[in-house]
DNA sequence: AGGTGGCGTTCAGGTGGCTGTCAGGTTCAC
DNA sequence: GTGAACCTGACAGCCACCTGAACGCCACCT
């Protein structure tokens, strides 16, 4: 997914861009509104992340101009904690969602995915996978023998794979999803969870690539 | 990606610009240095392709001025086959890479992608190679018959080649990637791995240059 | 308040994929 | 023609991973 990040803070900009890229999206970073205008004139984006305070103008004015031109690209605004009026104004100007600084990068990812799902014509995706019907938003799985329930941790791991079909997700990436920053996991917890997912959902739902990680099975 | 092509030959200029655009980049073509200066004053480019012989001046002087101003935009110079001194001077003046005329457009694309990866901070490129779609960060390869998995060591060797398209990578360089410093490999391990890559990905994915090493196959 | 069962984590024994090697054959520079 | 470089199928051993079972915790139910 093509994502344009309009953010002048170099540190935040880099961190967010790297996170978006790590999630498999294709990010562009514009530190100014002028550059952002050039980009949206020539590129087609699936989502825009918009900071409201830019060095060469107001993010809000950029957003209004975008909507005035008829663009329906989803826009998520980045706002400071105490800027409530600004937030409301942004939503009124046509933003689809907002996230409050400072934010956790994992939360940003989840929010991005949520906005993208809402606006890609697939707001509540059912995913078909090898005889399973999966409803991510409702955490519901329907298999050939009926409803299948996963525990919270099992869902976290399964979603980590579902969000990256075709990609290898390393054990350390899964650990990062499950535990707080830098927590050391001492045993083969991940393997046991994967085994349980296989038991509940079928042995082909997760493929192991030895030494690298796991990958979602092919539908 | 925004690419500025500084080339006075109309035929070559058009062909390269069209190829760059077809690859999803956003090219600008400047047939003179004066025009190029105007463009770089107002636009931010991700890469500059620079011919050294222009009607209104030397490409080398343009490059030196660019670096003197503090620009770190990657620059790839286009040089004639026999202009070795010019090539060296270009690299010394701050060029990041060079490509020798006449060149294959597919090789140019691969080289552009490689330079952009080194300098753009975007570690998650999709690479197309002979019917394969390769996602380096996610260790994902999609071939004509579906998903292809490589082992950890196979990836290391494949990446060593992917990161140097068009270049010969020696066996000792590959050994350095695989093993710790100064480890002596006693047998034909590298040849066996290359054979396995060919088996999984196709026999043209790696070319052997006898006595020198291996090179990535052409897309 | 006490009992229960689901969940998270750990462990141990087993397994099969990966790694490195080798041998026989092919290719090619000289 | 020759010898070095390379190719590739096959094999053995290692260890990353699998999975059944167990235990402690705690939310929930009675």
* pLDDT tens, N- to C-terminus, chain B (219 residues): 678 999 988 888 888 887 777 666 778 888 999 888 888 876 767 789 999 888 888 888 898 888 777 677 788 888 776 666 666 677 767 777 777 777 777 667 767 766 655 554 443 456 778 888 888 777 888 888 888 999 988 988 998 888 788 888 888 888 877 776 556 667 899 999 999 999 999 988 999 999 899 999 876
Q: How many Cα atoms are found within 13 Å in the side-chain-facing hemisphere of B218?
A: 6
Nucleotide nearest to B188 (CA to C1'): C21
- Please indicate whether, in this complex, the C-beta atoms of A21 and B122 are within 8 angstroms of each other: yes
Q: Which domain holds residue A186?
A: 126-216
**Cβ pair A127, A38 in contact under 8 A:** no
Q: What is the complex's ipTM, to 2 decimals?
A: 0.54
In this structure, are strands B26-30 and B2-6 parallel, antiparallel, or unpaired?
parallel
- Please indicate, yes or no, whether residues B150 and B109 belong to a single structural domain of this protein: no
Smallest Cβ distance to A164: which of B43, B138, B146? B138
Q: Which residue is nearest to nucleotide C9 (CA to C1')?
A: A189
Per the structure, the count of domains in chain B is: 2
Nearest to A218 by CA among B138, B130, B152, B140: B140
**Whether residue B7 is found in the same domain as residue B114:** yes
A54, A33 in Cβ contact below 8 A? Answer: yes
Domain boundary, last residue among A119, A149, A165: A119
Q: Do A24 and B122 touch (CB under 8 A)?
A: no
Q: Which residues touch strand D (CB under 7 A)?
A: A 171, 188, 191-192, 194-195, 198-199, 203, 208, 210-213; B 171, 188, 191-192, 194-195, 198-199, 203, 208, 210-213
CA dist list (Å): A29 to A16, A35, B21: 9, 9, 20
Give yes or no for CB of A178 within 7 Å of strand C.
Answer: yes
Residues B131 and B201 in one domain: yes
The HSE-up count of residue B205 (CA atoms within 13 Å, CB side) is: 27
C-alpha B128/C-alpha B141 separation (Å) is 10
Same-domain pairing of B73 and B167 = no
Residues A113 and A141 in one domain: no
Which whole number is the average pLDDT over A1-28? 81
Say if residue A85 is in the same domain as residue A161: no
Residue B140 CB neighbours (<10 A): 21
CATH number at residue B209: 1.10.10.10
Which segments of A29-104 does DSSP mark as H helices, in order?
Answer: 33-42, 59-68, 84-92
Q: Which residue, of A56, A85, A119, is where some domain finishes? A: A119
Supply the pLDDT for residue A206: 93
Same domain for B100 and B138, yes or no, is no
CATH number at residue A22: 3.40.50.2300
C-alpha torsion B130→B132→B136→B140, nearest 10: -160
Looking at the fold, whether A76 and A174 belong to one and the same domain comes out as: no
Candidates B117, B135, B138, partner chain A, best to mutate (most A CBs within 10 A): B138
Interface test with B, best of A38, A45, A174, A207 (most B CBs within 10 A): A38
């Amino acid at each position: 997914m093509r994502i344009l990040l309009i953010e002048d803070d170099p540190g935040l900009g880099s961190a967010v861009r790297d996170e978006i890229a790590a999630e498999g999206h294709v990010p562009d970073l514009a530190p100014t509104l002028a550059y952002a205008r050039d980009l949206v004139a020539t590129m087609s984006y699936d989502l825009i992340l918009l900071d409201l305070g830019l060095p060469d103008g107001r993010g809000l004015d950029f957003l209004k101009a975008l909507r005035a031109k008829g663009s329906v690209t989803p826009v998520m605004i980045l706002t400071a904690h105490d800027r409530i009026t600004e937030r409301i104004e942004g939503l009124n100007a046509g933003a689809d969602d907002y996230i409050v600084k400072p934010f956790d990068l994992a939360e940003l990812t989840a929010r991005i995915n949520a906005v993208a799902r809402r606006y890609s014509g697939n707001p509540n995706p059912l995913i078909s996978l090898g005889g399973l019907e999966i409803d991510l938003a409702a955490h519901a799985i329907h298999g050939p023998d009926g409803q299948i329930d996963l525990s919270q941790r099992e869902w976290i791991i399964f979603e980590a794979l579902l969000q990256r079909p075709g990609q290898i997700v390393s054990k350390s990436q899964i650990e990062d999803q499950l535990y707080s920053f830098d927590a050391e996991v001492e045993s083969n917890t991940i393997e046991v969870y994967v085994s349980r997912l296989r038991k509940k959902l079928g042995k082909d739902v997760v493929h192991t690539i030895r030494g690298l990680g796991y990958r979602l099975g092919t539908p």
